[in-house]
Chain A
Amino acid sequence: MAYLFDTPEQRQRMLAAIGAASVDELFQQIPESLQLGRELALPGAVSELELEQDLQRRLGEVGGGGVCFLGGGVYDHYIPAVVDELTSRGEFYTAYTPYQAEASQGTLQAFYEYQTLISQLSGMEVSNASLYEGGTAVSEAVFMAMRVNGRDGRVVVAGSLHPEYRQVLRTYFSRLGTEIVEVPAVDGVVSVEMCRGALTADTTALVLQQPNFFGCLEDIGGLTAAAHAAGALAILAFDPIGPGLLKRPGDYGVDIAVAEGQPLGTPLQFGGPLLGVFTCRSEYVRKMPGRLIGRTVDRRGRECFVLNLQAREQHIRRDKATSNICTNQGLLALRATVFLSVVGPRGLRRMAELSHAKARYAAACLTRLPGVVLKFERAFFREFVLETPRPATEVLRSLSDRGFNVGPELSRFGGSLGAGLERCFLVALTEKRTRAEIDALAAALGDVLGS
């Protein structure tokens, strides 16, 4: 049932004021031949109760009834209760883009705080107010690099970047002349030497990920230096929990840093909606995509916040805009703002340390099993690639039958991560996983491989 207020009598009064005999008359603007003339063939309306019962029945068990060791870009991190409580407030939840600053100071200040928190987290000078998610943020970063250095011949991409991000980049650039060159990962990381070889005089940027898709830590300092030596920008996709333990993108001197911000207080939701984090050097601010909130004063000198530098955006600049994005991920940016406020620097450090310690413990337990090895003998943060004697798809299916959701298997991404990875899969750990769960996973894997 639609949410409607007016009684039949009130509708008649409205029609009389309009001067129309019926609602049908209002639709006479639509030529009769184009009118549907039947009811839409959709399931009949159901009540809230019936729908809840139907969904409960169909959706089955939470997480398929399994413990989550899944990674590959989104992670099962803890979300403090206060995040849902505050972001559910209707005044935030049911407002829209803060075009009218006087009616949106709550949103505007929160997003100014978001931008600042993300700058502090990333070590980068400026952040925008969000993009869709990590993959499109990478593509937007490459577009921005082209505006910054005027080079459009080539972009060099690490083969250790999330394969889906690379696919997005290929789709976004499918009609443009820019050559996308992938430098394959060797033993879990890309080599500075090979990247240097791929960087040409018309290369706009080198795109990297830290930790990379395999969970391994790259030599971002060396790679950034190689990009800069070739006159290219360094673009880094980073893990937003990483800075609790690891160097920040800004510490490496990268030019643009982006992230999938989901770990900052957003649930998995089958991969969306997520949070595209986008940061860069302040000198590029007029070339940035997406909304920016600025601090200013009002007519009476009172401090306040506004949508800033809108002349970059599609509603003003149209085909010359820095991006086509309009609706962004405001609510998820608000979630990240509350999350970082309440977790703080010590909480984030604890999250990162716990995730890391548990990942190391899990790696140690799992590799004690016969034939099970770390695919890459390299330092990792919170996920790693495990290799077993059996095809990964089979192993993961058997583990899920035993109540452990692990992966993804690297073969899921075709050959985009390299050859010979059919027996490899990712294992990801967060602060939520307990020693008992890890021990049980190891036992289950032993069982699967032994059987």
Chain B
Amino acid sequence: MRNPTATRLLFEMSESGRGTVVFPESDVPDVSGVPVPGAEHLASVLLPLPELAEPDVVRHFVNLSTLNMSVDSHFYPLGSCTMKYNPKRHERLARLPQAVASHPYQQESQIQGLLSVLYELQGMLAEISGLPGVSLHPAAGAQGELTALLTAAAYFRHRGEQRTRVLFPASAHGTNPASAALAGFECVQLSGGRDGFVDLSELRAQLDERSAVFMVTNPNTLGLFEKDIATIAAMLHEVGGLVYIDGANMNAILGRTRPGDFGGDMMHYNVHKTFTGPHGAGGPGAGPIAVRDFLAPFLPAPVVTFDAVRNWYSLTEPEHSIGRMRSFFGNVGILLRGYCYIRTLGGRGLREASDCAVLNANYLLSQVRDFLDVPHGHRCMHEFVASAKRLKEQTGVTAMDIAKRLLDYGFHAPTVYFPLVVEEALMMEPTETESLATLDAFAAALRQICSEPAELVKGAPHTTAVCRPDEVNAARKPVLCWSAQC
């Protein structure tokens, strides 16, 4: 039960002179003969941080946590985000002190074990993708995209080609165009066919010697497998371009098909999605990329290499590396969780996970399509996109209203208003770690909501601590920091 007095802002709970962590007294003598910072460098007053006792802090955050929905507490069918169960075993394994206490500049001889695990993970991700060159370096999926685009750009530059355009369908994640722009490419958005697939003639009309990369999510953000992906890849390759697979939806196809086999030249994984890194209220992720062999020399540094003769693992820089994308090696803590997941599932287990993710999504689809439109077919991969457009026209109830009302029923909302190609979109991804009973209860709640009085739904949520924050005013006069005057 929430205790509201404990969820006052930390700053309102502060009392001067309170404190908690008592570090030891200094055990070293003051020394002379070593330069001392001058007054121009030294702080003159105590920092204005709050002063709190540890029990206050504990009660504060424990109570705050109860205001969240999470995978551990609720069904969380947030489409495109793969909110599956995060196995607790990974937590213990990834927190082994040997891994947690490793400093990135330790001697290579001391980290041979850790490097061997990372090297093995590189190989696993190569096998799962069908793409042999792997970099574990990127911090998250969006950085994986940027890394791969810069890798492709270095490859083209090496070949003396001037390719300036990156293409993507309108259903693409926002990170695709944002990454392309950041990498200095001109963005070309394709509207796509009405059936939700890439329109081949539209694509063909845009392809020429300026085309660098076509970025496509497959299965796409409508939950459909791009049936013409091999043709699309052939078209790109014909003009000398490359195909980038946004791997956000890999959870649909593990062990069933591989980006490298359907024509992809590069891809990123979202380890926190597909391979169960905890989502952590917004991260961290890890966004390793996998590329074809001819792109591997351009991958960022460092990668793990193995010298079988010396039986030695090293961090090395690929021959024509684009360089660093971040400091240090990568988000090792998350990569280790992904490694644990792959090891404990094995090839068969990964395929079984995808099988059940697709089964669950199709089942949920079968249970909602009689009362909610699903514009792009009666079958899907691991997720599907319903539309509340008809309901909105009839009753005024929007996708957002449905999302908010679901919270009253104890379900997190699906992703809403994405992809942009579906009006009043509700994107649902149940994942494989939900039971039939949960899916039935969720479908029943959705059905109920769609027949509830509009004013009830539009007033939702009714049971949460707050209801419909004023975002417009928040943006007009941003208050981003507490101050004693507020």
Q: Is B78 an interface residue (CB 8 A)?
A: yes
**In the bound complex, what is the Cα–Cα distance between A188 and B377 (angstroms)?**
65
Q: Mark A303-325, 1 if CB is under 8 A from B, else 0.
A: 01110111101111111110111
- Nearest to A376 among chain B residues (CB) is B35
* CB-based nearest B residue for A61: B98
Query: In the docked arrangement, what's the CA distance between A159 and B190, Å?
Result: 44
A270 and B330 alpha carbons, distance in the complex (Å): 8
Interface residues of B, CB < 8 Å — how many?
203
Please give, as numbers and ranges, the residues of chain B lying within 8 Å of A360 by CB-CB distance: 28, 30-31, 34
Residues of A within 8 A of B153 (CB): 174-175
Contact partner of B257 (CB less than 8 A), chosen from A35, A59, A73, A119, is A35
Specify which of A34, A40, A116, A396 is in contact with B128 (CB 8 Å cutoff). A40
Chain A's nearest CB lies how many Å from the CB of B214?
15
- The stretch from A10-18, A199-207, A226-234, A441-449 touching chain B is A10-18
**B residues near A298, Cβ cutoff 8 Å:** 466-470
Cα–Cα distance between A260 and B229 once the two chains are bound (Å): 41
Q: Which partner residue on chain B sits nearest A339 by CB separation?
A: B21
Q: Say yes or no: is A158 at the interface (Cβ < 8 Å to chain B).
A: no
On whether the beta carbons of A171 and B324 are closer than 8 Å, the reply is yes
Residues of A within 8 A of B160 (CB): none
Question: Could you name 5 residue pairs across A and B whose Cβ atoms are closer than 8 Å?
Answer: A91-B72, A135-B326, A171-B150, A268-B101, A315-B175
Do A59 and B20 touch (CB < 8 A)?
Answer: no
**Contact code string A22-33 (vs B, CB < 8 Å = 1, else 0):** 010011011101
How far is it, in angstroms, between the C-alpha of A319 and the C-alpha of B464 when the chains are bound? 35
Partner-binding segment picked from B3-11, B198-206, B391-399, B444-452: B3-11
Are B478 and A285 closer than 8 Å at their CB atoms? Answer: yes
Is B171 part of the binding interface, using a Cβ–Cβ cutoff of 8 Å? no
Q: Which residues, 44 to 74 on A, are CB-close (under 8 Å) to B?
A: 44-48, 51-52, 55-56, 58-66, 68, 70, 72-74
Are B113 and A326 in contact, with the CB atoms below 8 A? no
Most buried by A among B67, B92, B464: B67
The contact string, 1 if C-beta is below 8 Å from chain A, for chain B 299-332, is: 0100000000000000000000011111111111
Contact: B344 with A96, CB < 8 Å? Answer: no
A1 touches B344 (CB 8 A): yes
Cβ of A149 within 8 Å of any chain B Cβ, yes or no, is no
Given A17-B363, A357-B26, A60 and B98 touching (CB < 8 A)? yes
B contact patch SS:
loop
Residues of A close to B272: CB separation below 8 A: 327
Taking a contact as CB atoms closer than 8 A, the residue among A104, A115, A357 that contacts B69 in the complex is A104
With contact pairs A127-B481, A327-B272 given, residues A271 and B464 touching in the complex (Cβ less than 8 Å): no
Complex-state Cα separation, A19 to B128, whole angstroms = 30
Contacting A299 at CB < 8 Å: which of B117, B333, B356, B467? B467
Q: Is the CB of A170 within 8 A of B323?
A: yes
Complex partner residue of B139 from A33, A127, A136, CB under 8 angstroms: A136
Residues of A close to B61: CB separation below 8 A: 86, 89, 92, 110, 338
CB distance from B153 to the nearest CB of A (A): 6
Contact B110 A400 (CB under 8 A): yes
Please tell me if the beta carbons of B57 and A105 are within 8 angstroms of each other in the complex: no
Q: When A119-B481, A338-B61 are in contact, do A133 and B42 touch as well, CB less than 8 Å?
A: no
Partner of B331, one of A62, A219, A273: A273
Bound CA–CA A85/B360 (angstroms): 34
Q: Does A419 contact B (CB under 8 A)?
A: no
Chain A residues near B225: list those with CB within 8 A: 29-30
Instruction: Please state if A51 and B343 are interface contacts (CB–CB under 8 Å).
Output: yes
Q: Does A190 contact B (CB under 8 A)?
A: no
Instruction: For B69, list chain A residues within 8 Å (CB).
Output: 91, 95, 100, 103-104
Q: CB-CB < 8 A to B481: which residues of A?
A: 115-116, 119, 125-127
Cα A18 to Cα B434 with chains together (Å): 17
A132–B43 touching, CB < 8 Å: no
A246 touches B41 (CB 8 A): yes
Q: Does B379 contact A (CB under 8 A)?
A: yes
- Measured in the bound complex, the distance between the Cα atoms of B418 and A328 in whole Å is 20
Does A92 lie within 8 Å of B230, measured CB to CB?
no
Q: Which residues of B, 238-257, contact A by the 8 Å Cβ criterion?
A: 253-257
**Shortest distance in angstroms between B482's beta carbon and chain A's nearest beta carbon?**
4
List residues 116-158 of chain A with CB under 8 A from any CB of chain B: 116-117, 119-121, 125-127, 129-130, 132-136, 143
Q: Which residues of chain B are within 8 angstroms of A27 by Cβ–Cβ distance? A: 256, 358
What residues on A are CB-neighbors of B344 within 8 Å? Answer: 1, 45-48, 51
How many Å from the CB of A101 to the closest CB on chain B? 5
Contact B70 A273 (CB under 8 A): no
Task: Tell whether, in the assembled complex, residue A101 and residue B469 are in contact, meaning their CB atoms are under 8 Å apart.
Answer: yes
What residues of B have a CB within 8 angstroms of the CB of A379 in the complex? 35-38, 41
- Report if A397 contacts B (CB, 8 A): yes
Contact of B328 among A63, A88, A271 (CB under 8 A): A271
New A-B contacts (11) at CB < 8 Å, excluding given A5-B433, A44-B347, A282-B480: A15-B359, A39-B347, A63-B110, A90-B73, A93-B281, A103-B407, A134-B327, A135-B324, A328-B140, A341-B52, A405-B106
| Count class of interface residues, chain A | 35 or more
- A221 surroundings in chain B (CB, below 8 A): 40
Q: Do B100 and A109 touch (CB < 8 A)?
A: no
Residues of B within 8 A of A63 (CB): 98, 101-103, 106, 110
Asked if residues A3 and B85 are in contact (CB atoms below 8 Å), the reply is: yes
Is A21 in contact with chain B by the CB < 8 A criterion? no
Q: Could you tell me the distance in whole angstroms from the C-beta of A252 to the nearest C-beta in chain B?
A: 10
Q: A321 — nearest CB in chain B belongs to which residue?
A: B178
Interface pair B7/A109, CB less than 8 Å apart:
yes
A342 within 8 A of B: yes
CA distance A347 to B54 in the complex (A): 12
Q: Report A45 CB to chain B, min CB distance, Å.
A: 3
Q: Which of B182, B324, B362, B479 meets A295, CB within 8 Å?
A: B479
Q: Give a binary string over A281-313; 1 marks a CB under 8 Å from any B CB, 0 the rest.
A: 010010000011111111110101110111101
Across-interface contacts of B281 in A (CB, < 8 A): 92-93, 95-98, 104, 107, 110-111, 330-331, 334
Partner of B230, one of A15, A31, A47, A244: A31
Q: Are A327 and B466 in contact (CB under 8 A)?
A: no
Q: Which residues of A contact B145 (CB under 8 A)?
A: 324
A319 adjacent to B23 (CB under 8 Å): no
Chain B nearest CB from A410 CB (Å) reads 11
Min CB distance B401 to A, Å, is: 12
Q: Is A417 an interface residue (CB 8 A)?
A: no
Indicate whether A184 reaches chain B with its CB closer than 8 angstroms: no
A232 to chain B, nearest CB (A): 22
Within 8 A of A (CB), among B338-396: 340, 342-353, 355-356, 358-360, 362-363, 365-367, 379, 381
> B253: nearest residue on chain A (CB-CB)?
A30
Q: A95–B279 contact, CB under 8 A?
A: yes
Closest Cβ of chain A: how far from B137's Cβ, in Å?
Answer: 9
Among B438-472, those with CB < 8 Å from A are: 461, 464-471
Q: Which of B47, B68, B286 contacts A103 (CB 8 A)?
A: B68
Q: Which residues of A contact B282 (CB under 8 A)?
A: 96-98, 107, 111, 129-130, 291, 327-331, 333
Tell me, yes or no, whether A349 is within 8 Å of chain B by CB. yes
Asked whether B234 is an interface residue with its Cβ less than 8 Å from the other chain, the reply is no
Check B43–A246 contact: CB distance below 8 A. Answer: yes
Residue of B nearest to A378 (CB): B35
B23 near A347: Cβ-Cβ < 8 Å: yes
Shortest CB distance B374–A (Å): 13
Whether the pair A396, B107 counts as a contact (CB closer than 8 A) is: yes
Q: Which of A10, A60, A341 lies at the interface centre, i.e. has the most chain B CB atoms within 10 A of its CB?
A: A341
Which residues of chain B have C-beta atoms less than 8 A from A162's C-beta? 327
Distance from B303 Cβ to chain A, minimum over Cβ atoms (Å): 14
> Which residues of A348-374 are within 8 A (CB) of B?
348-351, 353-354, 357-358, 360-361, 363-364, 367, 374
List B residues 65-85 near A (Cβ within 8 Å).
65-74, 76, 78, 81, 83-85
Q: CA A350 – CA B179 in complex, angstroms? A: 42
Q: Does A102 belong to the interface (CB within 8 Å)?
A: yes
Chain B residue contacts of A407, Cβ below 8 A: 105
| CB of A238 closer than 8 Å to a CB of B | no
Task: Tell me which residues across on chain A come within 8 A of B93, comparing CB atoms.
Answer: 48, 51-52, 55
